[in-house]
Structure 1
């Protein structure tokens, strides 16, 4: 057994795709070699990924794959053999086509359930690693998740496609070169090190020495190791500056994919730029320059930042620091110019300009959309005890920052800049905050709007999108959801549930749909939208750890307020731990089936005089005894108590079904017993539909 190394050395790879490319290449290569039988049980694969290379190391590799027994189906026995058991012309032709040479007596006869078939049992000889590796390589490069394929021409004139032009191919089994090729390049042991610190070619001695020899050439080939080293150096540098580093994971990954040998330096910008909103400065540094911004111990943005170079400067980094300071000054000057210019014009004056921004070709402009959001926000505000005037004002101004220079440059700042400009215009603090927060939650786990006015505008904004797009038939299908309708729906559900708003989902859908239908061509799709919300609700609740049965039992009773659902689910979950739960759920399902078959036969109330059997009298007494307490606890929202109070019903319910004939010959007795079961059913299903819990 030996260690295999494959490296594809290229021009600079796309940084945002590098980690995925390297891991996918290693996984595909390993799976293919394993499928061919070259690996052992303890074989391991290690992925390498740097700006100009992807590579994989696989341990415990055989130089030859094992021989494999196989069985080849030939022809039916009655066609392949004559009366004397000799091969017919049909069998000889088939065997010749497959390259099989043997006597007919050596063939196996197997009945496939219909007739006897002739099979050849043979041994497929193993192949050398070079052949198997070539097939694995060809398959791996074709399967790579390349974001955008690049075409380039080889020296022989052929045009090939890959993520970037390939410069060198290394293939070593321990210290021996494996005879494979890729994109017109024959494998060898030569590659390239750091672009600036290592000009000479690097000769890899063996597969196991690859990582060390690349590090000697100033390249850390492991993506994880390089990223970890960079992160630690960033943290150490921030600590030296007595600062907290702003280090989003996406930026960390991208910078790690841009540097072969990360070296951290600090630099600074003029304090005058701190007058610009910090979000603008941070976004400018992160997006345009890939810098890491710093805060002081009080959380205030500092006029210093960290940068990651891949050059170990001989002057200690002074030239790098000053050069980056010059570059960032120009970037920040642009941001300051945008901010200063935007403040010269009141936010309200930009609203009319939204008529020039197309929202959707069937739903009109952003101005028309804003008018619909305003109408929805006003009605929602009244329902949730928010100030309708403030909600209306915030909804009117919510999209105005789309017409600003800053948001034109950085779309990610929409809403955020609206708040700053609203504050500058002396708008009410709740209005300014609602402009920022009406986009929330932007993603799973994001914070919810903090005030009732913000919630009103956020709900209106998302519901306008959902009702409008559903109304024109733009529903998400499968994996495609270009308007993020699933995310909008989950955001609405979270706000209604987690903020415990006194507004039902049905009322919210009705408000939004009535307003949206004022737009031409929008149809009433309330039912489809309600089902869409229900499907999202199921997913959300299951993700919280509840079983499908528990979720369904609560959804089926359609609680008016979604804020009730978490309490109901917890009560159901606790109920399922009771010894009486299974029996009560099964009885509930049986009652449900009986009532379905006897639809319309129940009375308005039970007639005690028609209760004949002791068991039905006992059940009636048990229900009468527990009902007042159930009703009181249910009204108070004590759902766990309601379900626990069902426990004493188990014995009389079991006895009733064991001893009492529901479908009695006397129609009056039958009707009274069905009415008794109906009362029991209503008592048992206040919190959840217990029949959903039956196994």
Structure 2
């Protein structure tokens, strides 16, 4: 590192930042500021950037920042030569005016360069632009970084003068900007940069820290300020302490990345402590206890080796007293009322069966155009019965109907009213308390699954049918009234519902056909909606397409298979594998190109083409040969296709390459004789259908 290249440190000291936003704020502050310095030539493109974010600070260190950016040569287009110069080569008034605007005069005209710009010759001015000084460049970078911060909610507060207002995420009280050891006098939010900051509210060894240099920032905060400035380091330290404290008791802390991020944003000097609550609360479903401890108190419940909740939990404190008993005792006292509430809700809810709650759903509005939750339940029941009938089985239909009838009843319970995240889960508990079968209870619990990408599917067939019916009711109903997602807005999570349908049909319900399912769901709505299948089916295929590409299939492979709108989504994976294997064959490229050519010929035909071949009209040897080869190949390929042997079916088609090439080399498709022309088109139509049973092979053509 040269003498004028030193590490740069910028810190903004503020009041406590919103914990759920801190990670993104820290990352954005560092990234935008560093990118701006790099774009101005003050830092190298590969310069190391270190982000810092704690409850009361956003900071960034950029390595090897120059005191001044290098001067750079710039070529500026002025105007076309025809406009800039007279016939005698003298500058026109337009050129002189343009030169004055860029700080030059007629003296530079002989040095102007001529070059083609499109179809016309233009004049260009070469000049040297002085590089920005670091103070200028950092001011620009800091302004840009603050302007682009992803602030969830802006505050307005007054500066010390009592007159000026500032808008920011939280009131700012300090600004540090150091280039090596030198202070850069940049300004932001009514503050002028210096080298002074503050550490931990209670445990810093000094009230104010004077940062010696950009390199000493993190160490000084840790040693003098009792603050781990790095979000990543603080998070790792919390994770280490959680694991250590749990292991000492032979237990395991619950894994929750969002909770870990939030707690990391709440403390500057983490100190994990062990606490416990009365074992009597363990009679309450553990999901309730875990949720109230995580959501309300930011605690980490401890699980045993079987993943069962214990009466112990971990707290991440922001202080390290010599005697931690007051801290642990206080947290144990605070959690007790929360657990008591959960126990009360659970006990009260069980005094009324799920079946007794169902009539109350008629008073709960679902959607202004689609009626109440009670009406929705009846629609889900009807769709679920239709699916069960497709799968077969009177017993299945009866269990499905019972589960669908009761699935939404827990929405009216106190527990779900307090914790909406537990809908379905509590329904399963209450169903078991009501003495319902395990299959029905599991189905009620599982009917929202999959709730998110990667979530597990319902455990049994009853749950699968009800979950499928529930998601189809949402999709068909909302598409049927024109309530489609737009851009990033998807208030009813229709994309997630569609992905859930895709997964269930792909992984578990292999015999069900998509179009038939969508059609079967429409009658449940009576006259409330228009049949949305025409718009909804492509929407579901789009979700399937995205999912398959994420799994590693190419866009070409996916397009080839989904172009046929396969109805059994469970077959799609095998078709994709078959297409991938076919594409590796030496004959694949020629056949794909021929298939594309055939498709274009058939599209241009003025009359409908039937896939029929009259042997008597096969005049040329090449078409006779192709017809004969197609008859044999198509028969074998079709049999393999119907057996689900897609790769073998496509492999059979490779034998057609020679006859197809010979046909196009020696036969004129659009013969003058209408009968010959129709027969040749029929031959191509037959070939086209035989080749595109598994996938549209023309999509593989480059």
Report TM bin, short chain: over 0.9
Q: Deviations over 1:77-111 (max 9, x none)?
A: 88888999888877776666655467355662646
Offset at residue 556 of structure 1 (A):
2.6
Counterpart residue number, 1:447: 456
3-state SS in 1 of match to 2:275 = strand
Counterpart residue number, 2:155: 150
Q: Aligned in 2, Cα 1:136/1:606: closer, same or farther, shift over 3 Å? A: closer
The answer to whether the aligner puts 1:180 opposite 2:186 as a matched pair is yes
Q: Relative to structure 2, which stretch is displaced further, 73-82 or 419-428?
A: 73-82
With normalisation by structure 1, the TM-score equals 0.94
Unaligned regions of 5+ residues in structure 1, if any? none
Question: Which residue, out of 161, 165, 173, partners 1:159?
Answer: 165
CA contact (8 A) 1:77 1:109 kept: no
CA contact (8 A) 1:372 1:516 kept: yes
Offset at residue 543 of structure 1 (A):
2.1
Question: Which residue, out of 25, 29, 34, partners 1:30?
Answer: 34
Offset at residue 124 of structure 1 (A):
3.0
Counterpart residue number, 2:140: 135
Distance 2:87 2:620 in 1: 81
Structure 2 matches for 1:168-567, cutoff 5 A? 168-198=174-204, 200-216=207-223, 217-315=225-323, 317-385=324-392, 387-519=396-528, 522-567=529-574
Offset at residue 191 of structure 1 (A):
0.6
Distance 1:245 1:152 in 2: 41
Q: Relative to structure 2, which stretch is displaced further, 593-602 or 324-333?
A: 593-602
CA contact (8 A) 1:602 1:675 kept: yes
Offset at residue 499 of structure 1 (A):
0.7
Distance 1:104 1:580 in 2: 64
Q: Relative to structure 2, which stretch is displaced further, 142-151 or 295-304?
A: 295-304
CA contact (8 A) 1:517 1:524 kept: no
CA contact (8 A) 1:50 1:259 kept: yes
3-state SS in 2 of match to 1:39 = coil
Distance 1:144 1:616 in 2: 68
Q: Deviations over 1:27-56 (max 9, x none)?
A: 111111112221135522110011100101
Distance 2:460 2:402 in 1: 15
Q: Aligned in 2, Cα 1:568/1:119: closer, same or farther, shift over 3 Å? A: closer
CA contact (8 A) 2:611 2:686 kept: no
Q: Deviations over 1:501-557 (max 9, x none)?
A: 3221111111112222443xx222221112222222222222222222222222233
3-state SS in 2 of match to 1:209 = helix
Distance 1:692 1:122 in 2: 51
Offset at residue 205 of structure 1 (A):
0.9
Number of residue equivalences: 692
3-state SS in 2 of match to 1:646 = helix
CA contact (8 A) 2:587 2:654 kept: yes
Q: Aligned in 2, Cα 1:638/1:94: closer, same or farther, shift over 3 Å? A: closer
Structure 2 matches for 1:95-106, cutoff 5 A? 99-100=103-104, 103=107, 105=109
Distance 1:493 1:460 in 2: 13
Distance 1:278 1:27 in 2: 41
Q: Aligned in 2, Cα 1:351/1:71: closer, same or farther, shift over 3 Å? A: same
3-state SS in 2 of match to 1:594 = helix
Offset at residue 26 of structure 1 (A):
0.8
Offset at residue 61 of structure 1 (A):
1.1
Q: Aligned in 2, Cα 1:559/1:437: closer, same or farther, shift over 3 Å? A: same
RMSD: 2.4
Offset at residue 630 of structure 1 (A):
2.1
Counterpart residue number, 2:694: 687
Counterpart residue number, 1:20: 24
Distance 1:677 1:82 in 2: 65
Distance 1:73 1:608 in 2: 69
Distance 1:691 1:90 in 2: 56
Q: Relative to structure 2, which stretch is displaced further, 125-134 or 485-494?
A: 125-134
Offset at residue 431 of structure 1 (A):
1.5
Distance 2:71 2:564 in 1: 63
Q: Relative to structure 2, which stretch is displaced further, 27-36 or 202-211?
A: 27-36
3-state SS in 1 of match to 2:157 = strand
CA contact (8 A) 2:40 2:132 kept: no
Distance 1:91 1:663 in 2: 62
